Amino acid sequence: MLDTKREWDLPVSKFVSAYEAHKAGRLDEAERGYRGVLKAEPRNADAWHLSGVLAQQRGQAATAVQNIERALSISGPNAAYLSNLGVSLQAAGRSAEAVQKLEQALALDPRSYGALFALGNALRSLDRLEDAAARYTQAIALQPANASAHNNLGNTMQALGRLNEAAASFQKAIALQPNHGRAHYNLGVVLKDAGKLERAAACFQQALAIMPDLVEAHINFGAVLHDLGHLDEAIAHARTAIALNPKDPAPFNNLGAALRDKGQFDEAMESYAKALALRPTMAEARHNEGVALQITGRDDEALERFQNAHGLKADFVEAELNAALLMLMRGDFKAGWEAYECRWRRNVPELGLRDFPYPPWRGEGGEGAVLVWGEQGVGDKVLYASMIPDVIARGHKVVMETDKRLISLFERSFPGVKAVAKQNPPDEATQRSDIRWQSSLASLGQWLRPDLTRFPAHNGYLAADEQRRASYRAQLETLSNGRLIVGVSWISRAAKIGLHKTLDLLQWAPILQARDVQFVDLQYGDTTAERAALEKELGISIAHIDGLDLREDIDGVAALAAACDLVISVSSTTAHLAAALGRPTWILIPAGAGNLWYWMRETDHTPWYPSATLFRQSKHGAWQDVIARVTESLRKHP
């Protein structure tokens, strides 16, 4: 860094002209000038110092260190020299020495912003993150309007996992310097990690408007667009990143993921192969090969890739998790459940990990209550709740912490169970004196569903509100005039994979044109426009129960589903509810992403729901054949 405050004692003719050229960015002229000064005055400390600064600006870190050390050997302790020496040592990869020199600089000048900022950088490179954050904070106190310090503090907070503080720092940097492309990019990364994908995409877009050649912004923007389902745009950004840096394996990996989700599996595998050719130890690309192989039914090869990816990166929980899910999908429940416990090592708040002060339940019988807490989405909670009767059968009372929308349904369905809403601090019922054990819902499977023989036959384990069911049935019978009453749900709003499980309502036209059928809206969310378009274009009316909130009133949805003769649904909460109630349920299953493990492989049934029939895609994205088979089955339905 160029010290513009120092008063120079050297003759104006040579030194000042070199110094002015340096400040103006005319580095070749400045270098010749400093060389001339040093030829005439070999012990000119200032000339040695600034020639070192110039070398640092040119990326010549070793020369910079050598020249600034020469300056210090002549001048003795000097805060500005030590500060710039620290910067040069850091650039040379000698971070520990940089910290030492920068601390010496601060001992001489405690209010040196440059030394504090550089010390923060050096400490961060040594993973001394708390110390780095303290130094950036001190630098900000001296220069609160300096956007770079806020940006670097944000990077440090992000590395510490303090995402809210990181976001606040990046936002401050942007407020101070709206064209700070890196701050926009960094904020996007934080938002992406927090699952706020739309906002992250906007940040990456802004970063690229400022820095069009920022490769990592293209990579991350493409990844977010891929998660949001904008696959063509994701592919375009991945290709741009490749063009900017063809030796970076990351965009090849991202390109493969987007191509995979478009169903272009051969091209995806080629892209992963290119990533691995550039970096053979890239665990992410090896893992993504496994995902593509699993989608195409090559399970043995997929499992090998997942295990190989975990071998390349010991803390690669996603690879472990996908291996576990593949085992479960194939019916290898004993190994699959055990491996599935790796999910708690992921930093995913929505999984619902709870820290209750009880030992885990491992299938014990006897007296004492078990606290069972829900995890993942409403549909998953419904599915795993099928194991609650088994816990009760072992002599236990059960306290369930779950989504508040499921409380009345679960308490009615499982007599004696106390259900409470998840909250912080936890409901007082979770502190009952008779509770001896705790377990997440899915973890019950390790002890209660170790193989297919342990899945009980049942006619439904959930019980709808009979009064509401009867009321809805009466309304529907009035509308149907004796026709078959069929509930329908065509959208999954699950993050990331919902797009692959969703159809446009008009794609259902062959089903909805079936004769002697009254269709009923079971789709959560506002479907007014879609139903109106269907009626306008095809003259088909889907019955909708006014006043029933199909998203928030889960007990009401259960009652309405129970009032139907048949439910046809994509893989969603609606499908879980209907099948758990024991209603005949036809579920449309995608071939790729969205084919969740509990729908199993190559079968039209699942052991979880005896009343469900599965209609699977024959290939990724191919709904037309599924619709045709459902239509034909409905035509033959008694």
Q: Catalogue all structural domains in the chain, each as residue range(s) with its CATH number.
A: 281-347 (1.25.40.10), 351-454 (3.40.50), 466-636 (3.40.50.2000)
User: Quick one: average pLDDT of 523-539?
Assistant: 94
How many C-beta neighbours within 10 Å does residue 416 have? 9
Q: What is the pLDDT of residue 227?
A: 86
Percent of the chain with pLDDT over 70: 97
Sheet strands side by side (includes 484-489): 517-521, 484-489, 566-570, 585-589, 612-616
Which residues fall within 8 angstroms of residue 446, CB to CB, at 6 or more apart? 337, 338, 340, 341, 362
Q: Using the 8-state DSSP alphabet, how is residue 507 labeled?
A: G
pLDDT(4) > 90:
no
Q: What is the pLDDT of residue 620?
A: 80
Reported as a single tens digit per residue, the pLDDT across 383-393 is 999 999 999 99
283-295 helix and 249-261 helix, angle to the nearest 10 degrees: 10
> For 390-416, what is the mean pLDDT?
97
User: Which pLDDT belongs to residue 347?
Assistant: 66
Q: What is the mean pLDDT of residues 502-513?
A: 94
Distance in angstroms (rounded) separating the CA atoms of residues 285 and 485: 48
Give me the pLDDT at residue 349, please: 57
CA distances from 567 to 122, 307, 618 (A): 62, 39, 22
* Nearest-10 crossing angle of helices 45-57, 79-91: 30
pLDDT band, residue 160 (cuts 50/70/90): very high
**289-298: which pairs have CB atoms within 8 A and are 24 or more residues apart?**
290/319, 290/322, 291/260, 291/322, 292/256, 292/260, 292/265, 292/268, 294/322, 294/326, 295/260, 295/265, 295/591, 295/592, 295/593, 295/595, 295/620, 296/265, 297/601
Q: What local confidence, expressed as pLDDT, does residue 304 receive?
A: 97
Name the DSSP class of 59.
T
- pLDDT value, residue 464: 98
Confidence of residue 9 (pLDDT cuts 50, 70, 90): very low
Distance, in Å, from the CA atom of 517 to the CA atom of 556, rounded to the nearest integer, reads 22
CA nearest neighbour of 579 among 601, 609, 622: 609
What average pLDDT score do residues 24-50 get? 93
Res 297: pLDDT? 86
Q: Which residues lie below 8 Å from residue 177, measured CB to CB, with a gap of 6+?
A: 147, 183
Q: Is the pLDDT of residue 286 over 50?
A: yes
- Cis geometry, peptide bond prior to residue 425 (ω within 30 degrees of 0): yes
Lowest model confidence (mean pLDDT) among 138-147, 415-424, 615-624: 615-624
- Residue 621 reports pLDDT greater than 90: no
Confidence of residue 8 (pLDDT cuts 50, 70, 90): very low
Helices (H) and strands (E) in the chain, counts: 31, 9
Q: Which residues pair with 568 in a beta bridge?
A: 488, 586
Q: What is the average pLDDT across 313-327?
A: 95
Per-residue pLDDT at 208 exceeds 90: yes
The two structure tokens encoding residue 621 = 């994205």
Can you tell me the mean pLDDT for 175-185?
97
Question: CA-CA distance, 505 to 491, in Å (whole number)?
Answer: 9
Query: What is the average pLDDT across 279-292?
Result: 97
Contacts of 157 (CB under 8 A, 6+ apart): 133, 163, 165, 166, 169
Rounded-to-integer distance, Cα 127 and Cα 116, Å: 16
Q: Quick check: 213 pLDDT over 80?
A: yes
Confidence of residue 288 (pLDDT cuts 50, 70, 90): very high
Structure tokens at 214: 């920022």
Tokens representing 184 are: 């926009």
pLDDT at site 158: 94
Better-predicted residue by pLDDT, 511 or 351: 511
Which pLDDT does position 352 carry in this prediction?
65
Q: How far apart are CA 13 and CA 569, in angstroms?
A: 85
The average pLDDT across 236-243 equals: 96
Q: What is the pLDDT of residue 527?
A: 92
**Is the pLDDT higher at 2 or at 532?**
532
β pairing state of 369-373 and 435-440: parallel
Mean pLDDT computed over every residue of the chain = 93
